Amino acid sequence: MNLLASGFFGKRKRSAQSRAVFLRRNGPIIMVYAFILLLVLIGITQSERFFTERNLTNVARQSAFLGLVALGQMLVILTAGIDLSVGSLVKVSILVSAIVMNGESANVLPAIIATLGLGVLVGLIHGFLINELRIAPFIVTLASLVILRGIGLTISSSPVGKASREVMMFYVQKIGPIPIIAWMFFLLIVLTMLLLRFTVFGKYLYAVGGNIEVARLSGVPIKAVRYGVYVLCSLTAAVTGLLWLSRMGVGDPAIGDGIELQTITAVIIGGTSLFGGRASVLGTLGGVLLLGITANLLVMLGVNQFIQGLIQGVIIVAAVALYKQEGD
């Protein structure tokens, strides 16, 4: 028991100093959750519709949509990279999956394989350009954002294809009171935590982001790590495209725009450094929930939706200012 406790949760009894370090490192994340709690309290007291099963289910699903990609984005940012293409990839994914599926149950598996294959391919291309041609991740994925969006709109500028019945049912299915899509997000959170804590690949992500030259001189296979992380990130976008199909029922080319910035926002609010080498899964979850609940609450309170952007901007600046204080 004692061993388990020290191995998994760190030392049981924290010294005053380590408590201070813990607070210094995690203080801002705690503040993010405190802020979420505050929003929830505002919601409960100010709106009758907020704290209903129906609305909370909604928030959970919406957070899951953003959260899956945010986790992929976080892993990329942990390596001091960035993936601007995820929104466009979600768009192409929903179109491809809808067209391949075309409303037929028999086509569900081919559609899933095609979409995930697309994700792997896009991730490999990113890895290739970054590793072999040494182009900065920002540039590579910016180009990819534009190209994929172009491909998406070339495929169709109006809704195409169709989800099968089961796929549409998937969106509303629940296990217990919680939508299955939220369970997926939860599962991915746990897997990501395990990945970062207990796998060599996870440690290599920190190493590459901490200092890529030191990583190379320490024998870390940096190319493989970067191929891996961009494939993982693209896969989260492809999966999210499939989930959007289950929600929309058709391949809607309007889906996906802006997801890249929202995920980056969530990751930053969660305390992951854009310079790499530092990441927090719980922080990213906090960032996702904060964005999701804010958006939901503003709708509930009848606030003009254009003001939502303004408020999100303020949240980003406030969060980053908070993390900056931690450095001093």
Q: By CB under 8 A, name the binding residues for other proteins.
A: 3, 7, 10-11, 17-18, 20, 197-204, 206-207, 210-211, 213-221, 277-278
Phi, psi of 170 (to 5 degrees): -55, -40
Cα distance between the two ends of the chain: 37
CB of 207 to other proteins, least distance (A): 6
Q: Which is nearer to other proteins, 282 or 298 (CB)?
A: 282
Element (H, E) at 247: helix 222-248
Handedness of CA 35, 39, 40, 45 (dihedral sign): positive
Taking the least distance from each CB to other proteins, the nearer of 60 and 207 is 207
The token duo for 76 is 């990329």
- Cβ closer to other proteins: 91 or 278? 278
Which residue number, 194 or 310, has a Cβ lying nearer to other proteins?
194
3-state secondary structure of 175: strand
Q: How far is the CB of 179 from other proteins (least distance, A)?
A: 30
* For other proteins, the closer CB: 25 or 49: 25
Tell me the closest approach of the beta carbon of residue 8 to other proteins, in angstroms: 8
Q: Least separation, in Å, of the C-beta of 251 and other proteins?
A: 36
Going from the C-alpha of 162 to that of each of 166, 238, 242, the distances in angstroms are 12, 17, 12
* Of 98, 71, 66, the residue nearest 240 (C-alpha): 66
Question: What is the dihedral sign for C-alpha 32, 264, 324, 319?
Answer: negative
Encoded tokens for 255: 């889906």
Most distant pair of Cα atoms in the chain: their distance:
62
Q: Cβ closer to other proteins: 10 or 313?
A: 10
- d(CA 129, CA 151) in angstroms, rounded, equals 19
Nearer to other proteins, 106 or 217 (CB): 217
Tokens of 283: 């922080």
Taking the complex as a whole, the smallest distance from the CB of residue 11 to other proteins amounts, in Å, to 8
Closest distance between other proteins and the C-beta of residue 108, in Å? 30
3-state secondary structure 66-133: HHHHHHHHHHHHHCCCCCCCHHHHHHHHHHHHHHHHCCCHHHHHHHHHHHHHHHHHHHHHHHHHHHCC
CB of 198 to other proteins, least distance (A): 5
